[in-house]
Structure 1
Amino acid sequence: MSVEEKCSAHQRRRRALSVDEQCQLLARHGIKFEQCCREDAKHFLKDNTYFFKLKAFDNNFVRDDKGTYLNLDFAYLKDLSTIDFEFRVLILRMTGDIEHALRVRFNNLLSQVNEDGYQVIRDYEDEQAKYYEKNGRIYDSDSCYQQSVYTKGMIDKFLKDKPV
């Protein structure tokens, strides 16, 4: 393909499809609207997901030689989309719970040792500075800590003397 053809192909961008047109395209690909009527499908596409995410789930279904889906109803895609959403919610909740449990455990461990939490951070920053210098870079602890939205408030409060 020549450069002109590539540029021409790039300029022929697809326009955004309305929800009606998305359902029509799905139907042309052999997706049926029997177990989930077209109106419910439109509402689902409009209010719960987006076309490309839903369309990705169709890769799990069989097509004939012409690329038309065999026995694929929109309801199946809707179910997979719903399962995907619920699974992501579960995973996010679990990771939040795990993070919280690890932080509690970390804080409990810190409280059981007779260690200067301020010195721990100073030692860490010294080691980081040596590592960066060895690799031809400069370690700036203040800017490193402030890059995170999670730590910025605490760092602003304790910037000069940071505890673990």
Structure 2
Amino acid sequence: MKTILSTDELIEHMIHKGIKFNIETKEEASNFLQHNNYYFKLAAYRNLYPKISQGDNKGKYQNLEFAYLRELSVIDMYIRYKIMNMCLDIEHAIKVKLVTSVTDNQQEDGYDIVRQFLAKEDRKFHILNSIRRHSSGEYCRSLISKYYPYFPIWVLVELITFGDLLHICHFYEEEYQRSIIPDNKLMNTIRDLRNASAHSNCLLN
């Protein structure tokens, strides 16, 4: 178990690891770590830099400035924002395509596909339990209260996760032989990117 270190101790730890403070001072770094980011996230970007392989400084980072780590963390933040926006647009487009397909499907009333899906898959994915957990939330409460547990597809897509949206699209495609998502494997990658961006995971490392 690692010991928690103060900000000043973390800076000394970085110096011991070979991280330099020539571009930004230790005081500037301390301020950044206390108000803008935390060491564990910032340190993730160290993996992008080589270590000295021999000599007295073996194992220390080679020509690594704290300012580089800081700049990477800022770039990473902007990349996450861009990716999040793109993933939200993709998610919305999938919802539109699914709802439109169900609406145009003369075999469907918008409720039946949801009944079939939940009857077959809810034990595996626990969708209704997940929806219930959000029943006190300000933004979904009225929808859940009005429709639970008999949701039409245009309401369900507002309440489920991106992952569950992919599941119901796949179920609908198999049930009616209508294409919603041409490449489901690619969507799994987008789902992972969306979740990583939403949880502020480091992407560049």
- TM normalised by structure 2 equals 0.59
Question: Does 1:118 find its partner at 2:111?
Answer: yes
Cross-structure match for 1:43:
31
Structure whose alpha-carbon radius of gyration is higher: 1
Q: Distance in 2 between matches of 1:72 and 1:31?
A: 5
Question: Does 1:158 find its partner at 2:158?
Answer: no
Query: Tell me, which stretches of 5 or more residues in structure 2 are unaligned?
Result: 154-205
- TM normalised by structure 1 equals 0.72
| Higher relative contact order (Cα pairs below 8 Å, separated by 6+ residues) | 2
Question: Does 1:89 find its partner at 2:81?
Answer: yes
Any idea what the Cα deviations from partners look like across 1:99-131, whole Å, max 9, x if unmatched? 1121122222222232222233333344x1xx8
Q: Distance in 2 between matches of 1:30 and 1:40?
A: 18
Change (3 A) 1:110 1:45: same
Q: Distance in 1 between matches of 2:12 and 2:118?
A: 60
Q: For this pair of structures, how many residues does the alignment match?
A: 142
Is the CA contact (8 Å cut-off) linking 1:54 and 1:78 kept in structure 2? yes
Cross-structure match for 1:145:
128
Q: Distance in 2 between matches of 1:120 and 1:60?
A: 48
Is the CA contact (8 Å cut-off) linking 2:21 and 2:65 kept in structure 1? yes
Q: Percent identity?
A: 35
Cross-structure match for 1:101:
93
Is the CA contact (8 Å cut-off) linking 2:18 and 2:64 kept in structure 1? yes
Q: What are the equivalent positions in structure 2 for 1:1-40 lying under 5 Å apart? A: 13-40=1-28
Q: CA deviation at 1:144?
A: 4.1
Question: Does 1:74 find its partner at 2:62?
Answer: no
Is the CA contact (8 Å cut-off) linking 1:146 and 1:155 kept in structure 2? no
Q: Give the CA RMSD over aligned residues.
A: 2.8
Any idea what the Cα deviations from partners look like across 1:64-108, whole Å, max 9, x if unmatched? 232122211111111111122222222222111211121122222
